[in-house]
Amino acid sequence: MMCFDECLELPASRIEVEHSIALTARWAKRCKEAQVKTNGISGEQALFGIFQGGGELDLREQSLEQIVEIDFDGYAIGGLSVGESKEEMYRVAHHITPKMPAEKPRYLMGVGDPEDLLEGIEAGIDMFDCVLPTRNARNGSLFTSRGKISIKQNQYKEDPEPLDPDCACSTCQNYSRAYLRHLFKSNEILGVRLNTYHNLFFYLTLIKGARAAVKDQHFPEFKKDFLEKYRSGLDGD
């Protein structure tokens, strides 16, 4: 369960960010009080605090401090991936994540594509959530080990290859790109299901690999190898 917070659209002025983190801290206190009061009713449900601060690093630190003081089960970076550039998101994530309590889960909200996930993990993030794999799947935008594919493109019309030859999911094991393209073009609901299955499988496989690499202490190599292949590109969509 997440605290109520205010997520500002970026860019925002410093004064707006200051007001916003103050409001977010007041709401967080009330959320915590409500959780304590209803503990018998809600059982052992965890409550995460969310801190804000836009792109202002000192306000990020201030907001984090205010939220950590209230003491939550985990902490989330809010207000990133809301229209700012990737560089800006990475800059904030790399600055603030190491300052978050290491003994509690660190959660980057609303992120992201495969590159963002690896960048977040490198910064020290433990958790993510994102609509991207499922929403993209519904639009025919599919993640593969060699980059994104837009399955509606003409070049896949008679392509007998699996969507991603390196993927072990049932979509890739059983269907061709041409068939997936046909399903997409015909608005067949099966296409949406097969695409969604693949994209979720791809994300889970990526995260499993990253988790193992962190454990074995070779995450930088894992990230480099993945990105090299991922950026080698299929159709550059």
**Interacting residues with Zn ion (CB under 5 A):** 167, 169, 171-172, 198
Q: Which of 132, 105, 104, 102 is nearest to 116 (CA)?
A: 132
In angstroms, give the least distance from the CB of 151 to Zn ion. Answer: 12
C-alpha atoms less than 13 angstroms from C-alpha of 76 in its C-beta half-sphere: 25
Q: How far apart are CA 206 and CA 221, in angstroms?
A: 14
Q: How far apart are CA 219 and CA 176, in angstroms?
A: 32
Cβ-contact 117, 89 below 8 angstroms: no
To 10 degrees, what angle do helices 114-123 and 219-230 make? 160
**Closer CB to Zn ion, 67 or 169, in the complex:** 169
**Closer CB to Zn ion, 55 or 191, in the complex:** 191
**Closer CB to Zn ion, 132 or 167, in the complex:** 167
In angstroms, give the least distance from the CB of 137 to Zn ion. Answer: 11
Total H helices, total E strands in the chain: 10, 6
Q: Which of 117, 78, 123, 115 is nearest to 99 (CA)?
A: 123
**Closer CB to Zn ion, 35 or 205, in the complex:** 205
**Closer CB to Zn ion, 35 or 176, in the complex:** 176
